[in-house]
Structure 1
Amino acid sequence: MNYTAEAPAVWDPSFADADNCLLSTDQCVIHAQHYFVKGLLEIPVIDSDEVFSWGVWVSLSRESFSRAADLRDTPGRESEKPYFGWLTTDLLAYSPATFNLKTRVHSRPVGQRPFVELEPTDHPLAVEQRTGITLDRVREIAAAVIHPAGDGRR
């Protein structure tokens, strides 16, 4: 019930050797100019207690990234205001593309990934986050992720 992106869509493996670039499981910095955090974009599964989640990357401003990093191990960080960001993961199960959708990144208790909330638009991913998806849709997503024939967009 979870698929995850290993890096922001703008990450290039050649960045790995650069002194001003970093890619960890939770954070990414590119050329000391672009800052990203990994979070969970959660979608309720209708008629169940399950939640489907996408592990996605969101770009943050330098100030928001620094603040989130400063609070990384601070109890109570979940009371922090959400950070504005741009989704930097293109989920091929959706059309139009999900890259650059507006988000709000909500901190959670220490040890938990942030919750990524999409701006409430008519984009199919934003609609699904608000209204939920069926188990059949979860299977559709799994098929698109596992076998991305063409670009698999819905």
Structure 2
Amino acid sequence: MLAFREKIVKCGCCGKDIGEIVFDKSYKMPDEIWNLSKTEKEERAQIDSDLCRLDDRYFIRGVAYLPVNGTDNSYGWGIWAEVSQEDFFDYVENYEEDNSTKPKFFGLVANVIPSYENTIGLELTVQLGSETQRPEFYFTDPMHLLTKEQAEGISIEKVHSFSSNKS
């Protein structure tokens, strides 16, 4: 399930309102947990708004930002990453503290991201934030389009295409 944040955007050329465009999408849980039956979820998963556990696997929720070229905005994919048990419990233990100076650690994308191929299992690094910020995710596969777009940005037209893609 996805949640959306919308913002009215003005045309860079003429200043007219383009309309409302969604500038982020977020997933309520990792896809693998989402796809379980209600009984399986109850038996095998522990689910919180920012933390999940499935059997002996651990997930945290964060945001992967893509800068939007020609604007001061970024598009935020609110996704889940599977992380090691050690990193998960370290995050849980220090959840209410400023963790922004801690070293980045490894994770794997746990959601299908519309408009992109092969996102489940895509490698990323996790940078924890302050006590009021979700972790930030940085894609690391140099051959994947998300890694390129995170570094170089995306067009407002691509953001608009995300808005119309409700899958």
2:101 corresponds in structure 1 to 79
**TM-score, normalising length: structure 1:** 0.87
Please identify which structure carries the higher strand content.
2
Work out whether 1:41 is the aligned partner of 2:64. Answer: yes
CA displacement 1:78-121 (0-9 Å, x = unmatched): 11111201011111211x22111111110111011000001041
SS of the aligned residue for 1:130 comes to helix
CA–CA distance in 2 between the matches of 1:63 and 1:50?
34
CA displacement 1:57-77 (0-9 Å, x = unmatched): 000000010111111012x31
CA apart distance, 1:127: 1.0
Q: What letter matches 1:113 in structure 2? A: R
CA–CA distance in 2 between the matches of 1:58 and 1:123?
17
- Which structure would you say has the larger Rg? 2
Q: Equivalent of 2:143, from 122, 125, 134?
A: 122
How many residues matched? 142
Q: What letter matches 2:112 in structure 1? A: D
CA apart distance, 1:16: 3.1
4+ aligned runs moved over 4 Å, structure 1 = none
Contact kept, 8 Å, 2:123 with 2:141, in 1: the verdict is no
SS of the aligned residue for 1:110 comes to coil
Contact kept, 8 Å, 2:57 with 2:82, in 1: the verdict is yes
CA apart distance, 1:21: 2.1
Q: Residues 13 and 72 of structure 1: is their aligned pair in 2 closer, same or farther, counting only changes over 3 Å? A: farther
* Gapped regions of structure 1 (runs ≥ 5): 149-154
Contact kept, 8 Å, 2:66 with 2:149, in 1: the verdict is yes
**TM-score, normalising length: structure 2:** 0.81
CA apart distance, 1:141: 1.4
SS of the aligned residue for 2:100 comes to helix
CA–CA distance in 1 between the matches of 2:25 and 2:59?
18
Root-mean-square deviation over aligned CA pairs = 1.3
CA–CA distance in 2 between the matches of 1:139 and 1:78?
31
Q: What letter matches 1:138 in structure 2? A: V
Identical counterparts, % of pairs: 22
SS of the aligned residue for 1:142 comes to helix
CA–CA distance in 2 between the matches of 1:121 and 1:71?
31
CA apart distance, 1:13: 4.2
Q: 1:1-154 alignment to 2 at 5 Å?
A: 1-11=23-33, 12-14=36-38, 15-18=40-43, 21-31=45-55, 33-74=56-97, 76-94=98-116, 96-144=117-165, 146=166, 148=167
* Gapped regions of structure 2 (runs ≥ 5): 1-22
